[in-house]
Amino acid sequence: MTVPDDAGAVSLTVDVVLLTIRDGRLCVLLVERGIEPFAGTWALPGGFVTADEDLEAAARRELAEETGVDAGPVHLEQLRTYAAPHRDPRGRVVTVAHLALMPDLPHPVAGSDAAHARWWPVDEVLTPTTHGPVLAFDHPTIVRDGVERARAKLEYTTLATSFVAEPFTLGDLRSVYEAVWGVDLDAPNFRRKVLSTPGFVVDTGETVSVGRGKPAGLYHPGEATDLHPAMLRPEPSRDLTRG
Amino acid sequence: MTVPDDAGAVSLTVDVVLLTIRDGRLCVLLVERGIEPFAGTWALPGGFVTADEDLEAAARRELAEETGVDAGPVHLEQLRTYAAPHRDPRGRVVTVAHLALMPDLPHPVAGSDAAHARWWPVDEVLTPTTHGPVLAFDHPTIVRDGVERARAKLEYTTLATSFVAEPFTLGDLRSVYEAVWGVDLDAPNFRRKVLSTPGFVVDTGETVSVGRGKPAGLYHPGEATDLHPAMLRPEPSRDLTRG
DNA sequence: CGTCCAAATGGTCATACTGACTCTTATAAC
DNA sequence: GTTATAAGAGTCAGTATGACCATTTGGACG
């Protein structure tokens, strides 16, 4: 009782849209390809799924191997599967894209295989520019879908906390929304919304002072995962391509 | 420049969670398996993706072949990919599950291969009962995910119209929400919400009278796809397993 | 044929949430 | 010490919602 060799035969890969926020801009991690096809262009970290490995394990392994990112602390979820017949010139390659979010830690983009990994602002990736990267395969579509998923999930989940290191201030958290959505949010209203959502954040009781301004309270992520009602996303006042 | 035969080699299938509403209950279409593995149990319609076919085409083809459903009018979207290493005893079979919604038309569950297709109320599928079906593979999980996706999308999209034949009354549309969510909605408030959302429905100007009660206005689906703000889902008052 | 019923439709009102805004406080930079 | 900056506290009007009540209308029923 086995599957005929040719029944639905494909090569299966995972790719990871790893997002973080650097200098107030939403950024995606890309790896420069050293081999054909698409040598010299930039691709999402990813690779073939091995024989006895599930998808999430494959995604975390590839993340570690190709970019030196310890996938332990990052949020990882399945995004979508891309299977257009000729998306890969080598043959029928189907990829299960994943979305990963992490804070802007002193990023270990320095591993062995990871020498060619780099953070790119998503606006430079999504809008073709002279100084932006050229993407391999259908990765522009995948990046776009990943970013849109992230934008949507900030509305109705507490996932924004995945973008900041602990502990964080409400200003840090607000900066996440502003960077991902490309809008400016009213600080008092944002504060009211976050604090009125049970379990969104937990007050540590401590404060920090960063440069000018009144010291800010420090928080940890709470137990809540969903926002009811949702955080409303204003129309993009800033240019969304600034990501 | 090809992929080594063994690199990420899997068999790829599509499966479809086709939902409709019959007699006020949310139902899923299942097919009785005639062959091993899982002969005699019930499975989602689906099958292997052919060499030059994309996923959506495969899903529509399988729906037509296995259940006689003309996939033209049904809403179809990718749901999630399931790839646990031993989910299929025949080998490494990965399935891309899809979610499909259709109105309760005089359903053509009568095609050739489709002789073994049947609608099952989702509550009988999700909660093991003596008279409910036994599902093959990891299809219980897939059905659960599909139903949860449908419930969620009714909140923030106009997808409920995919469950009703045109033209429809606001009572028909409200019944969709009530069946999928397992709640009772206030008719005047529901009406206000739907009519105040531009492009949710389009008034035909005609009315119908069905049995008792004041004749109801008839509507077509509008151009809108998203609901802002969302339709709020009350806590399940009715038992959700009645789904 | 008249009455009753059920469902659609048309409203009201209190409450919750949001967006826009002002004001105060506390710290670092100058 | 003064000022710039950001956090934090609070106000107020507009909107959306949930819970109701009232009216309309055609078929069902006697």
Helix (H) or strand (E) holding A177: helix A170-181
Of B231, B109, B80, nearest to B159 by C-alpha is: B231
Do B90 and A2 count as a contact with CB atoms less than 8 A apart?
Answer: yes
**Length A215 CA → D4 C1' (Å):** 15
At how many degrees (to 10) do helices A139-156 and A170-181 cross?
140
Distance from the Cα of residue A203 to its chain's centroid:
26
Q: Cα torsion at A126, A132, A134, A140 (round to 10°)? A: -10
**Binding-face residues of B in 106-135 toward A, CB within 8 A:** none
- Give the pLDDT confidence of B72-129 residue by residue, as tens digits: 779 999 999 999 999 999 999 999 999 999 999 876 655 556 678 999 999 999 998 8
Strand, coil or helix: what is B129? coil
For residues B152-161, give the mean pLDDT: 98
Judging by beta carbons within 10 Å of its beta carbon (0-12, 13-18, 19+), is residue B230 exposed, middle or buried? middle
- Cα(B11)–Cα(B169) distance, integer angstroms: 45
DSSP type of residue B92: -
Q: Which residue of A has its CA nearest to B234?
A: A228
Contact with chain A for residue B54, Cβ under 8 A: yes
Contact present, A137 and A36 (Cβ < 8 Å): no
The mean predicted confidence, pLDDT, of chain B is 92
pLDDT at A238: 54
User: Which domains occur in chain A, in start order?
Assistant: 11-154 (3.90.79.10), 158-242 (1.10.10.10)
**DSSP for A186-213?**
-HHHHHHHHHHSTTSEEEEEEEE--SSS
Nearest CB to B53; choose among A11, A85, A89:
A85
Q: Provide the CA B192 to C1' D19 distance, Å, integer.
A: 14
Nucleotide nearest to A214 (CA to C1'): C26
B49·A8 Cβ contact <8 A: yes
pLDDT value for B242: 44
Looking at residue A128, its pLDDT comes to 83
Which one has a higher pLDDT value, A201 or A1?
A201
Phi, psi of B214 (to 5 degrees): -65, 140
Give the pLDDT band (50/70/90) at residue B1.
low
Nearest alpha carbon to residue B18 among B74, B92, B68, B70: B74
Q: Stated in angstroms, how far is B155 CA from C22 C1'?
A: 36
What pLDDT band is residue A68 in, cutting at 50, 70 and 90? confident
Name which residue leads in pLDDT, B98 or B68.
B98
With CA atoms as reference, the chain A residue closest to B96 would be A81
Other residues' Cβ atoms within 10 Å of the Cβ of residue A16? 29
pLDDT tens digit sequence for A79-94? 999 999 999 999 999 9
**Chain segment A189-204, per-residue pLDDT in tens:** 999 999 999 999 999 9
Cα–chain-centroid distance for residue A223?
Answer: 21
